[in-house]
Amino acid sequence: MTTPTQPATDRPTTTDALVAAAILELAAAWDTLYQAQLATIQTLRAHRRLPAIDRTRQIRLTLDDFLQQIAVFDRTARVVVERWSIQDLPLIYRTGAHSALLRAIRAAGIDARAFDWTDRHRGAITTLSAQYYSDLIARIEQTVRRAQAFLRAARAQARTKSGVQRQPLLTAHGLDTVVYRDQTRHPADSWARAALGAQAITTRNTAALSFGRYDLEAEWFQCTDGRDCGFTQHGDIDKAHNTIRSAEDAETYPVAHFGCIRTWTPRPDLNGRTDIEPGAFA
């Protein structure tokens, strides 16, 4: 895995900007497909007024056009995901390591040093990027299958006397949502925001912890989090904010939940201390 030493001038460079740009592009790809679905339904409904011979031909052309829109969505969304995995996540990882260093300088008084893509860091970002790429591509493939199912259903309805039924089609096959494992549907933009946000913060915190533990040789980390957030999950009675955690515990719970705002500060100044209890307040 390689990462740019200098970001391209036309690309955002901060974590928040990278996440926001990717969310916007993915949401736009989903919305374009959904608008094509709405236009397809409207056009098919209008075909009912045509003579039978013309109607059959126009139905075929309309559905062929939507098939092309599915292909456009697939290509567009994959480009976003590939760039996110290959370019953006490594930049977020490096930013996470650099931010952890700055926090450690302020908290522990250590000397500044450069971040280097060691084998450990390359391995970490390669593993994360591969997993997150697979997760996002699975969502794209799921949407392509749903779009194809809509196409089949629309074709079947268009051939009946009653014609295309807009609301039943959208209820069964609406492409403005993403279907979760529990079969609940969520707006595509909300899914993109949650998924990419979680990937970004986990990548950032993984970098902070790896850099702190292996480059700065920190045995302890200071956790900063929402005041009500638990350490292992949001409702945990063991609160996370402003506590000291061992490197092992920190790596086990780099975040606690979706939307987590947790950050980690390496504390090599605490190395060798035997009087620290994990979870003690800083």
Has residue 111 got a pLDDT over 60?
Answer: yes
Instruction: Write out pLDDT tens, residues 68-99.
Output: 999 999 999 999 999 999 999 999 999 999 99
Could you tell me which residues come within 8 angstroms of residue 118 by beta carbon, excluding any fewer than 6 positions away?
214, 215
Give the pLDDT score at 234: 86
pLDDT at 13: 59
- Cβ within 8 Å of residue 278, ≥6 positions away: 244, 245, 246, 249
Which sign does the torsion angle of CA 202, 206, 207, 212 carry?
positive
pLDDT band, very low/low/confident/very high, at 240 (cuts 50, 70, 90): very high
- CB hemisphere CA count around 84 (13 angstroms): 33
Which range among 82-86, 89-93, 246-250, 253-257 shows the weakest confidence by mean pLDDT?
253-257
Q: What is the mean pLDDT of the chain?
A: 92
**pLDDT, tens digit, 9 for 90 and up, residues 1-38:** 444 434 444 445 588 999 999 999 999 999 999 999 99
CB 229, CB 255: distance < 8 Å: no
pLDDT of residue 6: 42
pLDDT value at residue 9: 42
Can you name the residues that pair with 266 across neighbouring β-strands? Answer: 221
- Is pLDDT at 130 greater than 80 in this prediction? yes
266: pLDDT confidence band, cut at 50, 70 and 90?
Answer: very high
Q: Residue 218 is encoded by which pair of tokens? A: 């920190």
Structure confidence at residue 54 (pLDDT): 80
Q: Strands 185-187 and 243-246, how do they pair? A: unpaired
Average confidence (pLDDT) over 197-220: 97
Between 15-46 and 89-108, two packed helices, what is the crossing angle to 10 degrees?
150
Decide: pTM greater than 0.85: yes
- Spatial separation of the C-alpha atoms in residues 48 and 157, rounded to whole Å: 11
- State mean pLDDT over 241-257: 95
Identify the CA nearest to 89 among candidates 237, 245, 199, 192.
199
